[in-house]
Amino acid sequence: MNGKERVRAAIEFTGPDRIPYNLSVDMRRFRKEKPELIPRIQEILDAAPKDIVTVQPTAPRGGEPTSFYRAMFEAGVDMWGVRWEKAFAVTHPLADNGFDLDAYTFPDPRAEGIFDLADQAVHENPDKYALGLVWWTMFERYHLLRGMENALTDYMAEPDRFKELQERIFEYDMAILDHWIDLGLDGVFFSDDWGDDYRLLISPAAWREHWRPYYEKLFGRARAAGIHVWLHSDGNIFEILPDLVEVGLNVLNPIQRMALDVDRLAREFGGKLAFNGGVDVQNTLPFGTPEDVRKEVKYLIDTLGSFNGGYIGGVSHSLLPDVPIENVVAVQRAFEEFGGGEST
C-alpha cells in the first residue's frame, strides 16, 4: 500500500498493511530552546513514514499580513487582525472595537496566492494521503475575534451579532473547504476545542442549538464530495461525540489522555470512528521512561486499532522541548515495532 491507500484503509476499517502514524514536533521551540537536538530530531522525523501530506492556506501573495501560524510564533498580526505574542492571542479585534462588524474587514478566502503552496504540495505527492486544514473552524475563530468570555455568552447577550459573526466565519470556512474539494483532497481537518479536562465548555443543549448546525453543513459538504472529515478537539467531549459522528465525523484527534477514556472510546465508537493521536504529552512523554512510552503506544494500537483499522498513530499534541530526546526516539520506534513497520 502507498500512504494514500494505507490511511484510507485505516479510516474506512478495511485493513491497512501497517498502522499509519504521523509525528508532530514543534521545531520552532526546539530551535529556540534546544538547538543542539535539531539534527537528531530531524533523523527521527526522516525515519517515520510519510503517509500524509498536510496543507493549509498561507498569507496572500506579497506576504502581509502573515499567516496565523507564523504570527503565533513571531509576535505578528495574523490574517484576521489578531496579534500574537509567544503563541498567545493578545488582541481580539471584535472585542477591541466594540463588536462593530461593519468596521471590521474579514480576510478574503479567495485572495491571490493563498493556496499556491498547498496546490503544489498535493500535486507533488500523489501517493500520499492529502489532508487540508480548515483550522480554528467556528468556535475557536469566534473566541479569537471576540475573546473567550464573550464567545461563551454572546449567544445570550448579543444574539443578533452572535449569529451574524457565526455566519461570516462559516462563509469563510466553506470557501476554504470548497477549494480543498476542488483540489481533490482525501480529507479535511477541522479544529475546535470544546472541552476542558472534565466537561464541555458550554451545555450540550446550547452546543446543539447554536453550533452543531454549522458542523452539519461543513461535514456534510465534505462527505458529499467523498472526503473524510477529521476534527481536532481537546478536552472531554464525550457528551457531543455522538452528535459529531452523526453529522459525519470520520477521525477524532488528538485523544487527550487526561480528558478522554481510551477504553470507553473503543467500546462506544470503535468501528464507527477512527482515532488519531493519543500518546500523552502531558505526563508520559515528558516524565515517563522510554519503556512507559513503548507500553503506551502498544496499548493505543491494541485498543483503538483493533477494528481492522481505526487508528492513525500520533501524539496528543506537538512534541515540545520538555520531552527527553530518548522518549522522542521511543515514540517512533514503538510505532514501528507494534504497528508493523521497521524502525530506523
pLDDT in tens, 104-124: 999 999 999 999 999 999 999
Look at residue 75 and tell me whether its pLDDT is greater than 70.
no
Look at residue 249 and tell me whether its pLDDT is greater than 60.
yes
Quick one: pLDDT band at residue 212, thresholds 50, 70, 90? very high
- What does the pLDDT read at residue 344? 32
CA distance 266 to 273: 9
Lowest-pLDDT range of 53-62, 126-135, 154-163, 260-269: 53-62
The distance from CA 128 to its chain's CA centroid, rounded to whole angstroms, is 18
Mean pLDDT, the chain, whole residue set: 94
pLDDT in tens, 167-202: 999 999 999 999 999 999 999 999 999 999 999 999
| 3-55+115-339: CATH number | 3.20.20.210
Quick one: pLDDT band at residue 61, thresholds 50, 70, 90? confident
String of b and e for 193-211 (b: at least 16 CB within 10 Å)? bbbeeebbbbeeeebeebb
CA distance 211 to 192: 11
- What does the pLDDT read at residue 342? 47
* Amino acid (one-letter) located at 32: K
The distance from CA 342 to its chain's CA centroid, rounded to whole angstroms, is 27
Nine-digit cell at 253? 484527534
Quick one: pLDDT band at residue 343, thresholds 50, 70, 90? very low
Name the phi and psi angles at 85, rounded to 5: -140, 125
The neighbouring-strand residues paired with 129 are 52
What is the residue-wise DSSP string for 97-165?
TTS-GGG-----TT-TTTTHHHHHHHHH-TTSEEEEEE-S-SHHHHHHHH-HHHHHHHHHHSHHHHHHH
% of the chain beyond a pLDDT of 90:
87
Lowest-pLDDT range of 29-33, 84-88, 199-203, 216-220: 84-88
Q: Are 58 and 117 in contact (CB under 8 A)?
A: yes
- For the chain, the structural domain boundaries read 3-55+115-339
